[in-house]
Amino acid sequence: FNKGCYLGQEVMARIHAMGRVRRLTVPVSWNGQKLPSLPNTLFANGKKCGILKSLIVQEGEKSIGMALIHENGIDSLESEGLTLEGISEGRIQPL
């Protein structure tokens, strides 16, 4: 008996049924002095909206990385930026 299921089948079926993905992987930059621990929770107006997954420190430039952001946080990312959990200064901005 070969059922024919595959890893991620439920996720793919949900995407197909909904017609869209609710989370986006977005390239971002970090302008703060203190480096965050990874992964780190992202906030927009005090509400959790995503996760900073990776960050590369560039000498003399902004640090860049990848974030997984819920569709509700994309507008905040583009307008005022997002904050990180446990770090008050600095903002996550779109790249």
Return the higher-pLDDT residue of 20 and 48. 48
For the chain, give every domain's residue range.
22-94
Place domain 22-94 in its CATH homologous superfamily: Aminomethyltransferase beta-barrel domains (2.40.30.110)
Mean pLDDT of 4-32: 85
Give pLDDT tens digits for 30-86.
888 888 889 999 999 889 999 999 999 887 778 899 999 998 888 888 888 898 988
Strands (E), 16-86: 23-30, 40-44, 47-56, 63-70, 82-84
The residue count of the chain comes to 95
Q: At residue 1, does pLDDT exceed 80?
A: no
User: Distance between CA atoms of 77 and 80, rounded to whole angstroms?
Assistant: 6
Structure tokens at 61: 């430039």
